[in-house]
Amino acid sequence: MSSENIYILGIESSCDDTSASVIYNGKVLSNVVANQEVHAKYGGVVPELASRAHQQNIVPVVQQAIEQAGITKNDLNSIAFTRGPGLMGSLLVGTSFAKSLALGLNIPLIDVNHMQAHILAHFIDEEGSRIPPFPFVCLTISGGHTQIVKITNHFEMEILGETIDDAVGEAFDKSAKILGLPYPGGPLIDKYAQLGNPKAFKFTKPKVGDLEFSFSGLKTGILYFIQKNVKENPNFIKENLNDICASIQYTIIEILMDKLKNTVKQTGFKHIAIAGGVSANSEIRKRLTLAEKHWGWTTYIPKFEYTTDNAAMIAIAGYLKYLNNDYSDISVTAKARLKVTE
């Protein structure tokens, strides 16, 4: 580890949140996030509106992050930014800004893989946080990804299993939409589920490979279930919302836990981490904590603020790459599709 005092500015603009963070020797000094509420009325993220909002937000967000960190831009050692995956228009805003700032300050530029950054958020230096030892397994769960990844070192990763169709975050949000809940619906299902009976209704789990996921059939099953019951009782959703949400959440989390159990059985790894927006879900966090007692796993659950898209995870990934002198050329381009192994 370097003895030099290193300040990294991280910039995240992959989807609909504009975020900037300053990390000092692995510790977070600031992590500013500007949410875009404009998408709620459309029931999902509108790419064109997202990129316009990033253009409006990026300068004040970066300035606020630097001010909160108690430094000036001249103290920065490097600029780290999200190269991908994500929405192309949104990525271009962050990429262009990061390039311009790095050129203006004459400091290195570091491109970061968004999905790697979700995993590397576990290496943020904070009091009371546990850092997983190599090798370990990470379940990356978000609106666009559902993967089981073997982590050999900070930048050597292997996908052991992934979804063959939809991501788990999409399953939560689409289920919420079927129930008439506003976007983003995943957190609302979690909220109502805590008041309901998880065994009230039974949904069929997909039959796929031991380490594979599938949520397309589950979504269809939930849709048909709701349509059938609403036809018989127009007030079915209103009268049973908590139980429906609890049953949906229970089924989804059971699927995730089954795959993790299969992973431990096949690999022998018992250090298990989670990452990505869905790792904010209360049930997966509870079940992982219980797994330590039941199965002798050691589990790593990120702080809530580092689960959804944020720049602190981009900054820590940039910091680790900076220590390796792994810089980007100014000709680097944004990439909407990018695997966690790239």
To the question of whether residue 114 is assigned a binding role by annotation, the answer is: yes
What would the pLDDT profile of 255-269 be if each residue is shown by its tens digit?
999 999 999 999 999
What is the average per-residue pLDDT within 190-215?
A: 95
Residue 2 has pLDDT above 90, yes or no: no
What gap in Å lies between CA 57 and CA 202, rounded to an integer?
Answer: 44
The answer on whether 18 is annotated among ligand-binding residues is: no
Is 75 annotated to bind a ligand? Reply is no
**Predicted local confidence at residue 6, as pLDDT:** 97
Q: How far apart are CA 173 and CA 102, in angstroms?
A: 37
Structure tokens at 105: 């300050």
Sequence-ordered list of residues with C-beta below 8 angstroms from that of 272, at least 6 positions apart, any chain: 136, 137, 138, 139, 260, 263, 264, 288, 291, 297, 298, 299, 300
Q: What is residue 34's predicted lDDT score, i.e. its pLDDT? A: 80
Give the three-class secondary structure for 298.
strand
Given a cut of 80, whether residue 108 has pLDDT beyond it is yes
Tell me if 143 is assigned to a ligand binding site: yes
Q: What is the pLDDT of residue 46?
A: 67
pTM of the model: 0.93
pLDDT of 14 > 70? The answer is yes
Lowest pLDDT segment from 74-83, 196-205, 300-309, 312-321? 300-309
Task: Give the rounded percent of residues in the chain with a pLDDT score beyond 70.
Answer: 95
Give the pLDDT of residue 44.
64
pLDDT digits (tens, 9 = 90+) for 17-64: 889 999 999 999 999 988 656 545 556 666 667 778 778 889 999 999
How far apart (Å, rounded) are the C-alpha atoms in residues 280 and 143?
12
pLDDT at 1 over 50: no
Could you report the per-residue pLDDT of 135-166, keeping only the tens digit for each?
A: 999 999 987 889 999 999 999 999 999 999 99
CA quadruple 205, 207, 213, 215: dihedral positive or negative?
A: negative
So what's the pLDDT on residue 38?
55
- What pLDDT, on a 0 to 100 scale, did the predictor assign at position 197? 97
Domains of the chain: 7-126+306-324 (3.30.420.40), 136-301 (3.30.420.40)
- Residue 204: C-alpha distances to residues 221, 247, 251, 334 (Å): 8, 11, 8, 39
User: What's the order of all strands across the beta sheet hosting 109-113?
Assistant: 27-35, 17-24, 7-12, 78-84, 109-113
pLDDT at res. 36: 58
- pLDDT bracket for residue 333 (50, 70, 90): very high
Check the annotation: does 190 bind a ligand: yes
Where does the chain have alpha helices with state H?
A: 47-68, 88-105, 114-120, 168-178, 186-193, 216-232, 236-267, 282-295, 311-323
Task: Using pLDDT thresholds of 50, 70 and 90, give the confidence band for residue 127.
Answer: confident
Is 144 flagged in the annotation as binding?
A: yes
Residue 196 pLDDT > 60, yes or no? yes
Q: 118 a known binding residue?
A: yes
Length of the chain: 342
State yes or no: 140 annotated in a binding site.
yes
The tens digit of pLDDT for each residue in 209-232 reads 999 999 999 999 999 999 999 999
Residue 12 above 90 pLDDT?
yes
Handedness of CA 196, 199, 201, 206 (dihedral sign): positive
Alpha-carbon span 207 to 210, nearest angstrom? 9
CB contact at 8 A, 128 and 178: no
